[in-house]
Amino acid sequence: MVDTVRLEFPPAPWRNQPLDGWDESHIRSTHRGVGAPGQERHSEGRRMKYRALGLRVGGGLAGARWVEVSVPRLLHGSNVVLVESDEELSRARGILNELVSQVCECDLLSSGVLVSRLDLVVYIQCPVKDVIAAHRATRHPKFRKGAGVFVGQSLVYRGRSRCCRFYDKAVEQKHGSSNETRGEWQLRPRALVADFGAMVPWASLRLADCYRVLRSLCLGFQPSAVPKGGTTIYDFFAMLECEEVTIRSVPVVDLYLKGLKPSSVNRVRKEIAKRRPAVMGFNWDKLLPPDFEAYLAIRPNGGKEGISPRK
């Protein structure tokens, strides 16, 4: 459900000597077009990275202003297993607050700490190629442009404050392909305000609210049904007939049958009729029920596997 978060807060003084396990780096940035035309402004910053968990804390030389981390990685060491309960989220807050306090004087549980990036994730028990086939021609009302497909391994929708991506996590981790697809929504400030109604304080973030937003976003898709074809020529023709594929208004199956003996035509028609293609439908309304507790209840294997779209 929840993966990476970025939190922003008022400047918090750096500690002089952070504990072991942290790497420090200094950043120098150049901002053009600020003030008078052609004028440049330079700024310097400081970043701290906790090596074991990939936790990053950054800001100016005087104080920290933001922190970014994968919440599941705080608890489980990786982001494959997601955080799907408020108890886990509360435990992650405590761990994060303790770690960040090692490098700066900040209380992340205060009301002034706001979420400026939130990644919401759902797993689907289905190969990514089928998810791509069902969604590649689909438009989403939150994005002006359609999806981009990358090497047949991922499908991405990009906007100014939102990004949605479907991909195989096992391929990303170089473990080979799997039959599970990860759907990931990345929300930035404008999208967070639009979807949650306001900027969300980190201390009051609740998974039921996250699920409501995730479900609402996924329901914006109107994916196509994906035929589950067989291995014979008759299976192929059955799919063509189901999709009403034509060449110059003539059904492709009729072009194939043209010139055959009547007995052969009847035999082929009977074989095609036997093989009306089954379809794998993506009905997001059924995949993600309205109630959060109902969603948790349908997760296979105690929530360790994705939901299945197969009929």
What is the pLDDT, as a whole number, of residue 278? Answer: 56
pLDDT digits (tens, 9 = 90+) for 14-44: 998 777 899 999 887 765 655 555 566 667 8
**pLDDT classification of 283: cutoffs 50, 70, 90:** confident
What is the pLDDT, as a whole number, of residue 262? Answer: 85
Residue 78: C-alpha distances to residues 71, 165, 170, 199 (Å) = 9, 19, 13, 27
Query: What backbone phi and psi angles, to 5 degrees, belong to 7?
Result: -115, 140
Please give the Cα distance from 164 to 185 (Å, whole number). Answer: 4
Residue 112: C-alpha distances to residues 108, 109, 139 (Å) = 8, 8, 37
Q: Whole-number mean pLDDT of the chain? A: 84
What is the pLDDT, as a whole number, of residue 302? Answer: 43
What is the pLDDT, as a whole number, of residue 12? Answer: 94
Which tokens hold the place of 295? 């969603």
The DSSP H or E segment spanning 19 is none
Q: How far is CA 54 from the centre of its chain?
A: 19
What is the pLDDT, as a whole number, of residue 303? Answer: 47
pLDDT digits (tens, 9 = 90+) for 166-203: 998 877 777 677 788 899 999 999 999 999 999 999 99
Please give the Cα distance from 227 to 240 (Å, whole number). Answer: 10
Please give the Cα distance from 239 to 304 (Å, whole number). Answer: 34
Please give the Cα distance from 75 to 52 (Å, whole number). Answer: 12
| Residue 104 pLDDT exceeds 80 | yes
Q: How far is CA 46 from the centre of its chain?
A: 30
CA angle 72, 289, 77 (to 5 degrees): 10
Please give the Cα distance from 164 to 127 (Å, whole number). Answer: 17
Between residues 226 and 26, the one the model is more confident about: 26
Count the neighbouring beta carbons within 10 Å of the beta carbon of residue 60. 14
CA angle 88, 89, 93 (to 5 degrees): 115
End-to-end CA distance of the chain: 24
